[in-house]
Amino acid sequence: MTPETVLTLTQQALQMTVLISAPMLGAALITGLLVSLFQAATQINEMTLSFIPKLLVLILVLVLAGPWMVTMMLDYMRRLFTSIPGMIG
């Protein structure tokens, strides 16, 4: 296995991690911003107020994007496992 192969595998793994985590992180970011704007507008300074909306949005995103995320991971793992013989030899 050459250093270029290792770098390619690492790059693909990082890209897959970013691609799969992006919907969840984006939804949490947008929800947090909206709750922060609501808190600033109403002057409610409750620290736990943002937890429940974020949790509900993350569950919703996981339900909606979960099958896509699993499919992406399975495709990546399948490609990775099928390329192992080529990397060894």
Would you place residue 87 in the very low, low, confident or very high pLDDT band (cuts 50, 70, 90)? confident
Reported pTM: 0.79
Is 89 a residue whose pLDDT tops 80? no
pLDDT at residue number 50: 82
The CB density around residue 26, as the number of other CB atoms within 10 Å, is 11
The residue type found at 41 is A
pLDDT at residue number 2: 85
Which residue has tokens 């985590």? 21
